[in-house]
Amino acid sequence: MNTKHDLARLVSDIVYVKPVAVSELPEEMRAQAGDRDQIFAVCDAEGQQLALVVDRSTAFFLARQHDRTPVTVH
Q: Is residue 12's pLDDT more than 60?
A: yes
Task: Please list the alpha-helical segments (H only) found in the chain.
Answer: 7-12, 27-32, 56-65
Half-sphere exposure in the Cβ direction for 54 (13 Å, CA)? 5
Reported pTM: 0.80
Residue-level pLDDT at 74: 75
For all residues of the chain together, what is the average pLDDT?
88
Alpha-carbon distances, residue 25 vs 12, 14, 17, 61, 66 (angstroms): 27, 24, 16, 23, 25
62 touches 51 (CB < 8 A): yes
